[in-house]
Structure 1
Amino acid sequence: MNIFEVRGGKKLHGEITPQGAKNEALQIISAVLLTPEKVTINNIPDILDVNLLIELLGEMNVKIERPNRQTCIFQADDVNIDYLHSEAYKKKSGKLRGSVMFAGPMLSRYRKAFIPKPGGDKIGRRRLDTHIIGFERLGAEFTYNNEDGFFHLEAKKLKGTYMLLDEPSVTGTANIVMAAVMASGTTTIYNAACEPYIQQLCKMLNRMGAKISGVGSNLLTIEGVEYLGGTEHTMLPDMIEVGSFIGLAAMTQSNITIKNAGLEHLGVIPDKFKQLGIAMEFKGDDIVIPEQSLYEIQTFLDGSVLTMYDHPWPGFTPDLLSIVLVVATQAKGSVLIHQKMFESRLFFVDKLIDMGAQIILCDPHRAAVIGLGRQQNLRGITMSSPDIRAGVALLIAALSAEGKSTIQNIEQIDRGYQYIDDRLKALGADITRL
């Protein structure tokens, strides 16, 4: 098992460019199964989760050319469907929740799919109900086989229909859209997720020949077509990395420029960090975070304590609440963090408390943070990364803390952040991978 050794308390300086969006990549790469023609994808993040998904496609006989680590050319003209029902696929895909995204394209093109029990972060329940119910509405039959541990989906024919999703699930919406693009008739999806990643997927599918309207809203209309062709697609900058770097700059009192941040796709993210008192300047598509000795958390207009919570787009993404929480520990003022979607995502705060942070974990969903206002620095400790986002939050805490920190289980961080230690070293961080 690899670890990071971090000696904190150093101010950083320089420029950093966010990787391609991880959450977009898992959808976009799965969509190559919809056509036998070549699909070229650019700005692919070179991270464990994405590389594992690409490996799975290769084992399904999808032809893959990788001229560089950020570009792949896929051609799914000879897919081995039976591999999706094998023990080898079950074992490998069980490590990666993103493998569930194969179901929609496989149903759409081959009228059958197999879904193993999903893997990924241990952050609480992540149900598949929205996916399965959407597939059933389109005409697929769903069964679970206790013997092989797979969900089985089959459809003699997929037919367009109206559906009101019980939740605006991003992966659920993406999967249903991919299943519906070659169904007969018209599919209407209300309460659809409308994140930039869903917009990107819909735009890519439309370039392939799909007929999707309402892109960017929560009401999608899909007219089924008989065939999809090849295309080229470039992924957005990862908004979670952008938010992580804003938090890093504030916690370490550093002057950092985030290059090519994709400002038009960040939604409320910059505003939420401004509520923590973090100053930033926007120059073209770059974000400049100047060195700040102190940042003060705002209150609501009536003077009450600020509450930050996650909400479906265009609300604040749950993936950045871990970052916001750790950044608040050194701010002046207090904030209540309310993580609504996942009941285990705040269970890393005990490590921050051990480092000297003043946090009250109210219940699995809420934590009250009393900012230290830099009157007391965090101290380095030995800790373990429980999931991708908590891992980076702990890494940011370690970079701002006095003394040496050891972070174990950094494979979780590598799942979502490419070359993170090398990129931080370029800013002047003292971090070693062992």
Structure 2
Amino acid sequence: MTSPAARTALELTAHLPVAGLTDFYRDLHRHPELSRQEHRTAAKLAGRLAEAGFETAEGVGGTGVVGLLRNGDGPTVLLRADMDALPVPEETGLPYASEVPGVMHACGHDLHMTWLAGAAEALAAGRDTWSGTLLVIGQPAEETGQGALAMIEDGLYERFARPDVLLGQHAGPGPVGFYAHSPGLILSATTDLDIVVHGRGGHGSRPETTVDPVVTAAFLVTRLQTVVAREIAARESAVLTVGRIEAGTRHNIIPSQAHISLNLRTQSDEVRERMIAAVRRIAAGEALAAGCPREPEVTVGAAFPMTVNDAATDRRTAAVHEEVLGAGTVLDFGPVMGSEDFPHLAPGGIPYSYWFVTTTPADVWDAAPGTDLMEKFLAVPSNHSPHFAPDLATITPGVRTLVSAALAHLVQGP
């Protein structure tokens, strides 16, 4: 027998306005907005929440949206979707492709908002089946790691309601129909570092009078690849990526500086600190070996925390998902190296469950090269790709995952 939450979720989502939600998604996809610029997006989401009966506020934490629905005694459950797009030129060729040059919903946040709107409307329409408080938020600036914290610092919980549990989900690659849970660590921490190498500039015809920061930067980039390979134990997971290197202005000018930007992905604080120390040591050593006139500057920039699900909350959520979506649909792939600012919404240790919904269209998956799951997974367009185009058949199941997860906490009884 299915649980009361599962039965209720299926009832509330039996007649979703799929056509209207699809139109909502396509509109959001055509009009993406970058982090902290989500004004039109916020207004669209807030309008749907207000029509569903939520007390609605905009401008929380900059451009954040809050919807509050009080429905008697019971726990307070927060459902979250992020709203920002990416500076990625779209190459999907879709008829509803982005109309904003150089900007695209390449991470699925438009789908997240569609799922959230559908779930909020279904739960509001079926409020006679549950008791408690529903707090729904459209979060800005997830891609920069600033939005969740900005909403908290703007008094999100003091002004509206402090949740007893947080629930969130993310679109990802993989054949449609699977829901990835992990009752513990599911996403890694990430840390940005910037390095400035100081040389002595001059004419390209007289390199002996200079200290070339480009050559030093090249040695530094190569040497940094040994941090993970030779300083991190094989049992640990870590990634170091040099994403940017810039120097110079002309062919025949040796510049006085070179700039390097890199990103660390770690699954423990100890490994993170060890990697930062290694970067500082290697940068200083290469500069010394090159005879640079001053030590390099190493600056720690934006950081995302590890996302660690509360085990009991995530198991409860995964169980109701399997009831609603079917046996064998819930998988545990373990932690991945992606990052999220979702944990910033959990000050003081509020329990949360965060999971993934696979969204690769069947024809794209079937056409991908390879014969096993991992080969295809690596071949299909993933988040942040200019070709990322989720299957809109996931709108209904994505609404059901949010609705059933919320009802697992809001519905009582046999």
Greater RCO (Cα-Cα under 8 Å, separation 6 or more): 2
Q: TM-score, normalised by structure 2?
A: 0.24
TM-score (norm 1): 0.23
